[in-house]
Amino acid sequence: MKKIVQKRVASDAGMSIMTAVNQSPSIVPQTPERSHQQRMEALRRANGIRSERARLKERLRNGDLAIHEVLLDPPPCVHTAKVLDLVLAVPKYGRVKANKLLERCRVSSSKTVNGLTPRQRRELLDTLGD
């Protein structure tokens, strides 16, 4: 719901003019209150996922793991990872080459692994196989 407020604006002749200004009421959703224990548990889970993801990316860099395996059956730790970050961990893929790959496959650089459509996943796998 927008609220219209009239605002006085000074003109050059010293007369005031009334103008309408659109103002939206600020509606900010409140996050639920969490206990200290809940916050600490969420932090532990997030740190665990980040650690697993770092180990997986290291395995990609070393060649111990193929990107095809990760994209075909993604482990839970990479569900929310950006596809660009995983491709960057693959040897011989820098920022320019990785961005060109994503552009060719019509995948946004901010797309997550779990957010890939079947077409995007298939095109990425086909293109990475070349």
Across the range 45-58, mean pLDDT stands at 96
Q: Which residue has the higher pLDDT, 42 or 28?
A: 42
Full set of structural domains in the chain with CATH: 38-129 (1.10.8.50)
Residue-level pLDDT at 18: 53
34 confidence band (pLDDT: 50, 70, 90) = confident
Provide the percentage of residues in the chain whose pLDDT is more than 90: 70
What would the pLDDT profile of 92-130 be if each residue is shown by its tens digit?
A: 999 999 999 999 999 999 999 999 999 999 999 999 886
20 confidence band (pLDDT: 50, 70, 90) = low
First to last CA, the chain: 54
pLDDT score of 5 more than 70: no
Residue-level pLDDT at 76: 94
| Beta-carbon count within 10 A of 113 CB | 20
Across the range 67-72, mean pLDDT stands at 94
